[in-house]
Chain A
C-alpha cells in the first residue's frame, strides 16, 4: 500500500525500490548490496547482518544499528526482504527475529550481480585489448 502511494508522487528520493522490473531498481547502494548479500545464503538477525557486512567489506563498512534498521525498514516496505517468524527454543524462549530475501529481493540481487559481472567483463576485455 505504501509503495503504491509513494510511486504516485514521483519524488526521486522516494521512488527507489518501487519498480516492478528488477533491473529498474539498479544500481544498488553499497549498503543495500551488502545487506542483500549477507541474507542471500540464509536468514539472519540484525546483529549478524551488521557483523557480516563488516567482515565482507573488509571492515570498510561499519553499519551503525540506526543505519542498519533504517535500511531494513525500507527493504521490508519494498518487499525485498521479509521477517522469518521467530521459533520457540526448548527453554521456551523465542529466537530473535531474522530476515530473509523474498523472491523479488533475490531477483533484484541476482540482477545486480549480473550487472556488476557484465561491467567487470567489459572493463577487463577493454583493458586487455588496449594492452595488446
Chain B
C-alpha cells in the first residue's frame, strides 16, 4: 500500500476511536480491515478516486459514532429507574427541613422542644432503613446529610490532605480560594470511604455497583450534604431566611429533577443547576445583607462595595469547589472504577 494511503488508514483508525468503547472493541478491527481493502480497491481506480472515498468513509464514521453514542446514552438512560413520586417526595424531606428551620426563624415561631430530637431520630431511622435496603435513590439525601455533618468533623484530617495545595503559593487570594473549599474537603475522605465500605459489605454492594454503572449516584449522595453547607455559609448572617428558603427550594428542585428524569444528562443538569442556583442565591443574599449586619468584631466599620463583592466572590468560590466535590470527584471515582473493571476483565 502506498505511503499516503497508510497515513489515511492511520487517520481512519483514529476516527474509529470516536465510537463508544464497547462498539470500538467489537468492530474496530473489522472496520479497519475493510477500510484497508476499500482503499486498495479505490487506488486501483486511480488516485482521484481515493480522496472522495476517504471523505465519504470518514463522514460515515463521524456520523455513525455520533449515532452510536446517542443510542448508547439513550439506552443507558432508559435503563435507569425513575424514582416514583412518593419516594421522590420522601427524598426531598431533608431539603424541606431547611425551609422549615428558615420559616421558624423568620416568624419567630418556636419549635417545640421535642421537635429537634424527633427530627434527628427520623433522619437516623431512614439512614438505617436506607442502609438495610442497599441504599436506594430515595434514601441518598438522608445519607448525604450525615455526610455533611461527618464532613465537618473530618475537616481537620482533610486539611492535612490539602497541605500540598497551600504550599503551592503564598498569595492570600490563593489561600482564600483554598479556604472556600474547606467545607467540601470532608467529601474527599468520605466518598472513597463510602465506596470501600459498600464494596466490602455484601448488602451494601448494590450501591457500589450502581456507582460503578452511573457515578451520579455518588454525586446525589454528596448533594444531600448541601443543606449543612448552606447553614454554615450563612451562619453569621441575620435576616437571611428568605435567601435560605430560596436556596433550599433550588436544592429541592435539583433533587426532584435528578430523581424524576430518565436521562443521565438531565439528571446531571438537575444537580449542577441545584448547586449553582442555591449558592448563587446565597451569594446574592450576602451581597445585599452585608451592610445590614452588626457583627461585634467589625465594630462601626463602614461596609464598602469591595467588601460586598469579596463576600459574594467567596461564596462563588465555595460554589466552584462544591461543583468539583459533588460532580467532578464522583466522575473521577466512576472513571477509576470503570478502568479497574477493565483491568480485571483483561486478566486471563
Number of interface residues of A (CB under 8 A): 23
> In the bound complex, do residue B60 and residue A67 qualify as a contact, i.e. CB atoms below 8 Å apart?
yes
Q: In B62-94, which residues have CB < 8 Å from any A CB?
A: 62-65, 67-68, 74-75, 78-79
> In the bound complex, do residue B31 and residue A65 qualify as a contact, i.e. CB atoms below 8 Å apart?
yes
Size bin of chain B's contact surface: 20 to 34
Q: In B283-322, which residues have CB < 8 Å from any A CB?
A: none
Compute how far the CA of A32 lies from the CA of B35 in the bound complex, rounded to whole angstroms: 21
> In the bound complex, do residue B34 and residue A46 qualify as a contact, i.e. CB atoms below 8 Å apart?
yes
Compute how far the CA of A9 lies from the CA of B74 in the bound complex, rounded to whole angstroms: 11
- Residue ID in chain B nearest A70 by CB atoms: B64
> In the bound complex, do residue A96 and residue B64 qualify as a contact, i.e. CB atoms below 8 Å apart?
no
Chain B residues whose CB sits within 8 angstroms of the CB of A68 once the complex forms? 34
SS class of chain A's interface: helix, strand, loop or mixed? helix
> In the bound complex, do residue A66 and residue B34 qualify as a contact, i.e. CB atoms below 8 Å apart?
no
Compute how far the CA of A6 lies from the CA of B60 in the bound complex, rounded to whole angstroms: 25
The smallest C-beta distance from A64 to any residue of chain B, in angstroms, reads 3
> In the bound complex, do residue A47 and residue B34 qualify as a contact, i.e. CB atoms below 8 Å apart?
yes
> In the bound complex, do residue A50 and residue B34 qualify as a contact, i.e. CB atoms below 8 Å apart?
yes
> In the bound complex, do residue A70 and residue B67 qualify as a contact, i.e. CB atoms below 8 Å apart?
yes
Q: In B17-39, which residues have CB < 8 Å from any A CB?
A: 23, 26-27, 30-31, 33-35, 37-38
Chain B residues whose CB sits within 8 angstroms of the CB of A67 once the complex forms? 60, 64
Compute how far the CA of A85 lies from the CA of B30 in the bound complex, rounded to whole angstroms: 14
The smallest C-beta distance from B251 to any residue of chain A, in angstroms, reads 29
> In the bound complex, do residue A66 and residue B61 qualify as a contact, i.e. CB atoms below 8 Å apart?
yes
> In the bound complex, do residue B60 and residue A96 qualify as a contact, i.e. CB atoms below 8 Å apart?
no
Known: A46-B30, A67-B60. A2 touches B37 (CB 8 A): no
The smallest C-beta distance from B110 to any residue of chain A, in angstroms, reads 51
Chain A residues whose CB sits within 8 angstroms of the CB of B79 once the complex forms? 5
A11 at the interface (CB under 8 A from B): yes
B56 at the interface (CB under 8 A from A): yes
Known: A5-B75, A5-B79, A47-B37. A69 touches B30 (CB 8 A): yes
Compute how far the CA of A26 lies from the CA of B85 in the bound complex, rounded to whole angstroms: 38
Compute how far the CA of A65 lies from the CA of B62 in the bound complex, rounded to whole angstroms: 11
A23 at the interface (CB under 8 A from B): no
Question: Most chain-B CB neighbours within 10 Å: which of A5, A11, A69, A72?
Answer: A69
B57 at the interface (CB under 8 A from A): yes
> In the bound complex, do residue B78 and residue A9 qualify as a contact, i.e. CB atoms below 8 Å apart?
yes
Q: Mark B180-204, 1 if CB is under 8 A from A, else 0.
A: 0000000000000000000000000
Question: Could you pull out 5 A-B pairs where Cβ atoms are within 8 angstroms?
Answer: A11-B74, A46-B34, A65-B38, A66-B62, A69-B30
Known: A6-B78, A66-B65, A73-B68. 10 other contacts (CB 8 A): A5-B78, A6-B75, A11-B78, A47-B38, A65-B60, A66-B63, A66-B64, A73-B23, A73-B26, A96-B33
